[in-house]
Amino acid sequence: DAGVTQSPTHLIKTRGQHVTLRCSPISGHKSVSWYQQVLGQGPQFIFQYYEKEERGRGNFPDRFSARQFPNYSSELNVNALLLGDSALYLCASSRRDVSSYEQYFGPGTRLTVT
């Protein structure tokens, strides 16, 4: 079975620009979460979407937004990019059953803001 896929793999943007990152969850998983991982640190939670609705939001500014589509894929959008937004952006999918909390991560999108 295919794992979580993310695109693009790498991205270079200039300060002030906008970026869209994409994620496809594992087949059968209805929940997608986004995390930001700055070099040398653990991932930090940005958003969770389940059944196309936002179910959780981390401590990130309103420049960050996301959405989930009917096929459960998701997009993360970041506006007005800052140098500090340079990071590995990770998508994780889960079944989000009552009995299952496992989250499976994709390979990430490496965003560099210059």
Strand extents, DSSP E, the chain: 5-7, 10-13, 19-24, 31-37, 44-50, 53-57, 64-68, 74-78, 87-94, 104-105, 109-113
Nearer to other proteins, 7 or 17 (CB): 7
Q: Which of residues 24-83 bind other proteins (CB under 8 A)?
A: 31, 33, 35, 40-45, 48, 50, 55-56, 58-59
Interface with other proteins (CB under 8 A): 4, 31, 33, 35, 40-45, 48, 50, 55-56, 58-59, 90, 92, 94, 96, 101-108
